[in-house]
Amino acid sequence: MGSVVLTGFMGTGKSTVGRALADLLGYEYVDTDAVIVERHGPIPAIFAEHGEGHFRQLERDLAAELAERDGLVVSTGGRMLVDPVNAEVFERRHLVVALTATADMIYERVGGERAAATRPMLAGGDVRARIADLLAERTPAYARFRLVATDDRSPDEIAAEIAALVDPAAASE
């Protein structure tokens, strides 16, 4: 049966679409950032106290753990599958889908300039420019996966498109 793994830049709808997709397929929903927060504390605190490298190792450990399970819809942190080790771990047995959106749509969805306070990767300057830069940097990594655009689409519509890739009957329910 495998699992479905959602990746993509922050603000592309991974969590919202992931929950809708899990409901549609009857799978368990797992948000990797939420699991890391539950086990290790707030992500900004992990970055501040231990550095980005430590956080990325936590992601690798969790990817290896979740890749062994079936029947999940996993929404990953925006950079988790940019790491080729994590990408390969999931691709071996699971469908990996990258959700996409324009930089302007992402800026809107993450809360504009306020996002720097809660999203460590956006701190340190103009949030809109930072989003555009990071998106340009990560897009080639996301391109290895099946791409699904989320601009101007409802989470249910996106979930149905992905469900059809897994189980055509589930998409029509």
This prediction's pTM:
0.89
DSSP 76: P
What are residue 77's phi and psi, to 5 degrees?
-60, 155
Sorted by where each begins, the domain ranges of the chain are: 4-171
Whether residue 87 contacts residue 146, with contact meaning beta carbons closer than 8 Å, is answered with no
The contacts of residue 168 (CB under 8 Å, 6+ apart) are none
Please report, in tens digits, the pLDDT of each residue of the chain (173 residues total).
699 999 999 899 999 999 999 999 999 999 999 999 999 999 889 989 999 899 999 999 999 999 999 999 999 987 899 999 999 999 999 999 999 999 999 988 887 667 666 676 777 778 888 889 999 999 999 999 999 999 999 999 999 999 999 976 665 55
Amino acid (1-letter code) at residue 28: E
The CATH number of domain 4-171 is 3.40.50.300: yes
d(CA 20, CA 49): 34
And the tokens for 100? 């996409």
d(CA 119, CA 56): 15
